[in-house]
Structure 1
Amino acid sequence: MSLKPSVNKTDHAQGNDNADLTIVEYGDYQCPYCGAAYPVLKELMKEFKGQVNFVFRNFPLSEMHPYARPAAIAAEAADLQGKFWEMHDVIYENQQSLNESFLFQLAEKIGLNLSQFKEDIQKPELEKKVDSDFESGIISGVNGTPSFFINGNKFNGGAEDLLELVRENVN
């Protein structure tokens, strides 16, 4: 399966936009497997910072994980204040404590303007962004989280396998 749509300006990306290697993760903030993948992906980005473009797309499995969608919307709201990745990271780092009110504590912790944040999380366009990420995952053949794509092609393996593959091919 291939990634649809391909990586674009609406995506959250970190690393090098012009890298030869683009990794897309479809993730759920409450998924324990995504939580386990998080430190591995951090390691990958640290090791290959200039050589990889890393993109995160929301894929909240709301029926199994009731706080995944609110967390995704919170991260999108943080993005409006230029702090998507800070929120992304702090949610994964505190995944065990996730609930709706805790998201406000995290927003405060990363220095967001809280009244702005409270207003922003109500915005319908943030829900639309999460939904459109989710729909793109469905179209791209995502059937669980985390799911990874390398340069537009689905990667059948976990974060450890991904790190191994990058180590073998980038150096």
Structure 2
Amino acid sequence: MNDDRSHSFLLVPPSTQDWMQGALSARVVLVMYGDYQCHKSADVYKLIKGIKRDLSASFREDDLCFIFRHFPQVQIHPQAQRAAQAAQAAAAQGQFWSMHDTLFAHQQKLENGYLVEYANNLGLDIPQFLKELSKPVHSDRIHEDIEGGIQSGVTTAPALFINGNRYIGHWRTTELMAAMIAARR
């Protein structure tokens, strides 16, 4: 259960600047604040992927938009910020979601050598990737996500918002799916 309930609304609305799967005009817009080194974030992301598969039968393709926003908790996950930077560096080469999935799948291995290996496996331009990773090129973008989360009351990851409302139920398929279906506009 998510016990961070200080705010109940998303104060930074979804935009085309977000990393999204689906259209902003979807009937359900699900925003996740996550941390690549946090096992709960990985579990919730797996849960969302499963729900997206399950809902594909009852939802049309334009019914659901999933948005991911960075919320690295560096005080407890020292490699989370670097992993978020790796995702952003991959995004600069059109591979955000591939790197995103890889980081969650291998969240126990987020040291620099592994990040380069993942980038290489995705076919990224390694010198460019390393250049962006060695300098905090994408720190502002990550910081914007964190600040937006804080404005909306997020203090820990994962945190979910469904159509702008904080999801405070249990992290279980049936409950989250029911909340998404109920939220359809």
TM (norm. structure 1) is: 0.91
The residue type equivalent to 2:107 in the other structure is Q
Higher RCO by CA contacts (8 Å cutoff, separation 6 or greater): 2
Instruction: Identify unmatched segments of 5+ residues in structure 1.
Output: none
Give 1 or 2: higher helix fraction: 1
Alpha-carbon contact 1:37-1:158 (below 8 Å) kept: no
Q: Name the SS of the counterpart of 2:115 in structure 1.
A: helix
Distance 2:68 2:179 in 1: 19
Residues 1-171 of structure 1 mapped to structure 2, 5 A cutoff: 1-48=8-55, 50=61, 51-160=63-172, 161-167=175-181
Alpha-carbon contact 2:35-2:71 (below 8 Å) kept: yes
Alpha-carbon contact 1:27-1:58 (below 8 Å) kept: yes
Alpha-carbon contact 2:33-2:69 (below 8 Å) kept: yes
TM (norm. structure 2) is: 0.85
Structure 1 runs (4+) greater than 3 angstroms displaced = 122-125, 167-170
Pair member with larger Rg: 2
Deviates more, 1:109-118 or 1:134-143: 109-118
Distance 2:111 2:33 in 1: 21
The root-mean-square deviation of aligned C-alpha atoms, in Å, is 1.7
Query: 1:112 deviation in Å?
Result: 1.1
Deviates more, 1:71-80 or 1:41-50: 41-50
Deviates more, 1:60-69 or 1:29-38: 29-38
Query: 1:65 deviation in Å?
Result: 0.1
Distance 1:157 1:36 in 2: 15
Percentage of pairs with the same residue: 36
What do residues 70-111 of structure 1 show as CA deviations (whole Å, max 9, x unaligned)?
000100111101110100001001112222221111111112
